[in-house]
Structure 1
Amino acid sequence: MINTVHEKKRSGLKLKKEKRYHNNLFVKVENVGAINFVTVSSKEGMRVLMKSLCDELQIPEAAFESVFEKKMDSEKIVCEKDEEGNGLKEYISQDFENLTPEERGNVTSEVNRRAGEEFANLHRKVLTQLDVNLFAEYMKCVGALVNNGELFGTVFRAGDVYLMTTFNVIQRIIDPCNTGQADYTLIEAENVFVNFNSSVLDIPDYKFRVRHVISTDTPLLDYTVLQIINNNDTLPKGLKLDKKPHNTETRPLYGIGYGNPETPFYKVLDNSCPIISSINTRILDCVKWLDETQDKNVPQVAGLNRSQYFKAHVQAMGFDPNIVDKGYQCIGREQHIFINAYMERGASGSPFLTSDGCVKGVLISGYPAFYFHLPKIVRSGFPRDKTFECILKLEYVHQHILERDPEIANKLFG
């Protein structure tokens, strides 16, 4: 963490303006995948960690292909009374010692209210060497579903010979013409297989083929179970599936899958995806933002609200512009966990795990849906706090399967 501090005097209080840079180190490991370290304090610290990892995993240091560093500005929002004693004034940091108890209370409540999940995101769990070793093993249990050489989505191992993903991952395979009539035998074709390599660009030594077992295309309960039909001793072990009800705590989850915007064909571990606890507030804020008028100082968009602006781009890409109006609608609450993650196309079906390695849910969609139909340059400027990802809780998957096939439910969940 690199801090630069600027001091100034105001209303007799000593104020500090602190600019915080948060290092984000991205590591690709051969035969494992990619790991996103967000809590390493320096490049030197990263080198030490890399060396210890290589020693522990018994792999050469050359296995770390490359390291990318990003510096993200992160602001702590705090406040004080203005010179007249009315209202609140924003600052990036402040000397608490000179504040009265009342003023400290104002600062604390404002940080909690306004910084919220963004501030909490700065304090992600540190991964120990043992954690990384364990998650490297978990990553081997996640694969890519490939059809005719194209990445269709992420799958993960469960039970002895089963895989879990979402229905939307297999939908284009079993109903290629989008007629509404699914032919599940199409998924058994030789050109459909699972690749467990760290990159889908690497041709696997053995192609695991699959058949359909059970699924549902209900929007609020989107899952699929597949079975390996040509098993051998190289098949990765199954992950532990958590059927217990999800509690209300907001500890981050760990996502494993393909479709990271920077390395879409690499298997990636996002090592702390913050849970959005106040999803209703988030959605209302997004809807309000979508209906606001664009910047009047920009001639190209003056007078247009954001909804009209995005509709024009979606239509230019050949899609129905009306999907913009549905961007934040029909979002289920009870069956889902909402998070912020850095995965896009190809990530559907990714497992999201707790810190002890239990799969809590499966990624089924990202919001707003029209985001994925925008030109890349427009997506690059889309505010991060106006997007979020939806995780289907496995407790509901277990309940649905148990009612239809108790034997399969027991094989998957134990």
Structure 2
Amino acid sequence: MRDWFGDFMYMSEILPRFSNKFKKPNDNTLSKKMDNDMSLGAIISGNFFIGTGRRIGGKYIVTYLHVVKKITNPGGLASIADIDRSKLDDPTVYVTFASSLKRRQRPKFHIKPDVIYINAQFEFAILELKSFECLPRGHKDRVSEIRPENANKFKKSHDSTLSEQMVNNMSVKMKSVGAIISNDSVRGTVFRVGSKYVMTALHVVKSVTNPRGLPSIADTDWSKLDHPTVYIKFAASVMDDQSPKFYIKPDVIYMNKQLDIAILELKSLECLPRSLKLSKYMGHVKCVNIIGFGHPIDPRKRLDPNCEVLNINHIITAIENFFNANPSVLQLNGLKPGGIKGEYNELGNTFMFPCHTFFEQGSSGAPAIEENDVVGILVKGMPFSYYEMRDSPYFTASGIDKLPNNLKFELCIKTESIFNDMRYVVPMLADDLFD
């Protein structure tokens, strides 16, 4: 199967609840390929509208996983398999691309009784159409949507432009960033370091070895890394079947729980992309370029350029001002003592720095690059309670939805801090990675 994810771009139109509510207010991330050939359709079952789907590639439809389950098991019965694919073959189940569902003469495109691909983490599925004769091209001329009254008359509020040299430089570096995959699901971002290693966040590794956090599994039980369904891909899309899989040795060569950092060793060095250069000294950095997976709309690898590194003193002042004006936010139920305000105490750790990026879940482990060097590794979003509660019914009632964008950001671990620990714990590895 070819990389048909390159055939659609504006997934926000069919995946609105994945739109960015956390992090940067604007998306200026870039993928290797940006294409807008698409077509929006309605999925019908028994003459009822079930959900929306987007045609991708030549004969596929992408939609929500719960839409598929509404067809295959509408009652949610335990006696029926989670996805009984045979029900997709029902003659009353089809896709239509008509502008109105009231049109009696609308063409119907029936679905093959199979689910080509499922991603449980991002909750979407790929279906295959039986026939793609007379399918609409779905090409949309985005330029025609620009109106003079909406044009930016006097610059953007910030500069996110890139020179040709920067674009070429980042394009090369993107090849060294990959995704760690377990059971066909992206667990996080990794990037090449040293002679035969990859670096990522420690919690990403543990999401593979102990996804449910069971106390019966030892913290240092890395045996699941050796499973054939666990591997790394450096392709632009993890669903590119032609790209090689790189398997991992069942061990963590280096880890630091406080820094949330782990180094994994690859089994094979054949066709490995080049390693990224790690900085021993961060200095004063105003912005970083972040490469990773975890874009809220597009599952492919992307680059978020010129992410602002935030001034901690300014953040602390803004936090005090916000919580003084909104005391109810401190009274959230189910949060750790001290409420959401206490979560910002991590800003006092000198081994990390905050920045704004558009990435979300799946980006943990992504490199933060300043010019040619990696200066940080993205490990978490802050405040964590906002991220946990935004899909909760208590989201609005708690008042946490009022949290302004400037108080939502990511934390990156400084490579300088990793080096200062590693050179004493495993000096030979430090020499390999940093020299």
Give TM-score scaled by structure 1 length: 0.62
Alpha-carbon distance in 2 for matches of 1:227, 1:70: 49
Map of 1:397 onto structure 2: 418
* Alignment partner of 1:231 out of 269, 272, 277: 269
Q: Which runs of 4+ in 1 moved over 6 A?
A: 65-71, 319-323
Map of 1:370 onto structure 2: 385
Q: Give the AA of the match of 2:254.
A: S
Map of 2:330 onto structure 1: 307
Map of 2:252 onto structure 1: 213
Q: Give the AA of the match of 1:364.
A: V
Map of 1:29 onto structure 2: 32
Q: Cα distance 1:383–1:162, how it changes in 2: closer, same or farther (>3 A)?
A: same
Map of 1:149 onto structure 2: 184
Whether contact under 8 Å (1:292, 1:305) holds in the other structure is no
Q: Cα distance 1:381–1:152, how it changes in 2: closer, same or farther (>3 A)?
A: farther
* Alignment partner of 1:176 out of 184, 196, 211: 211
Map of 2:353 onto structure 1: 337
Q: Give the AA of the match of 1:385.
A: N
Whether contact under 8 Å (2:238, 2:300) holds in the other structure is yes
The alpha-carbon deviation at position 129 of structure 1 amounts to: 1.7
Whether contact under 8 Å (1:197, 1:204) holds in the other structure is no
Q: Percent identity?
A: 27
Whether contact under 8 Å (1:287, 1:328) holds in the other structure is no
Whether contact under 8 Å (2:231, 2:247) holds in the other structure is yes
1:353 pairs with 2:369? yes
Q: Give the AA of the match of 1:409.
A: A
The alpha-carbon deviation at position 268 of structure 1 amounts to: 1.2
1:343-384 deviations in Å (ceiling 9; x for gaps): 1111110001112x2111111111101121123495987421
The alpha-carbon deviation at position 287 of structure 1 amounts to: 4.7
Alpha-carbon distance in 2 for matches of 1:250, 1:328: 21
Alpha-carbon distance in 1 for matches of 2:200, 2:359: 15
Q: Give the AA of the match of 2:175.
A: K
1:163-203 deviations in Å (ceiling 9; x for gaps): 00111111122233422722112212111111212123334
Alpha-carbon distance in 2 for matches of 1:386, 1:147: 33
Q: Give the AA of the match of 1:307.
A: L
1:246 pairs with 2:282? yes
Alpha-carbon distance in 2 for matches of 1:325, 1:275: 21
Q: Which secondary structure does the structure 2 equivalent of 1:153 belong to?
A: strand
1:220-253 deviations in Å (ceiling 9; x for gaps): x2211011113322x111111111x222x34211
1:308-359 deviations in Å (ceiling 9; x for gaps): 4xx36xx6xxx8798635432333431112211111111110001112x211
Whether contact under 8 Å (2:29, 2:303) holds in the other structure is no
Map of 2:318 onto structure 1: 285
Alpha-carbon distance in 2 for matches of 1:66, 1:412: 47
Structure 1 segment 70-81 matched on structure 2, within 5 A: none
Alpha-carbon distance in 2 for matches of 1:23, 1:181: 41
1:269 pairs with 2:300? no
Q: Which secondary structure does the structure 2 equivalent of 1:286 belong to?
A: helix
Q: Which secondary structure does the structure 2 equivalent of 1:329 belong to?
A: helix
* Alignment partner of 2:225 out of 187, 192, 204: 187
Alpha-carbon distance in 2 for matches of 1:141, 1:67: 32
Whether contact under 8 Å (1:158, 1:239) holds in the other structure is yes
Q: Which secondary structure does the structure 1 equivalent of 2:31 belong to?
A: strand
Q: Cα distance 1:339–1:26, how it changes in 2: closer, same or farther (>3 A)?
A: closer
Q: Which secondary structure does the structure 1 equivalent of 2:171 belong to?
A: helix
1:132 pairs with 2:155? no
Alpha-carbon distance in 2 for matches of 1:332, 1:187: 34
1:262-290 deviations in Å (ceiling 9; x for gaps): 32x1211111011112x134134225424
Map of 2:17 onto structure 1: none
Give TM-score scaled by structure 2 length: 0.59
How many residues are matched? 290
Alpha-carbon distance in 2 for matches of 1:291, 1:146: 43
Q: Give the AA of the match of 2:244.
A: Y
Q: Cα distance 1:305–1:289, how it changes in 2: closer, same or farther (>3 A)?
A: same
Structure 1 segment 40-51 matched on structure 2, within 5 A: none
Q: Give the AA of the match of 1:241.
A: L
The alpha-carbon deviation at position 26 of structure 1 amounts to: 5.4
Whether contact under 8 Å (2:289, 2:370) holds in the other structure is yes
Whether contact under 8 Å (1:255, 1:271) holds in the other structure is yes
1:198 pairs with 2:236? yes
Q: Give the AA of the match of 2:270.
A: N
Q: RCO greater where, 1 or 2, for CA within 8 Å and sep 6 or more?
A: 2
Q: Cα distance 1:135–1:283, how it changes in 2: closer, same or farther (>3 A)?
A: same
Map of 1:162 onto structure 2: 197
Alpha-carbon distance in 2 for matches of 1:380, 1:203: 40
Alpha-carbon distance in 2 for matches of 1:337, 1:184: 29
Give the alignment's Cα RMSD to 1 decimal: 3.4
Alpha-carbon distance in 2 for matches of 1:321, 1:201: 42
Map of 1:62 onto structure 2: none
Any stretches of 5+ residues in structure 1 without a counterpart? Answer: 1-21, 34-64, 72-92, 94-118, 294-303
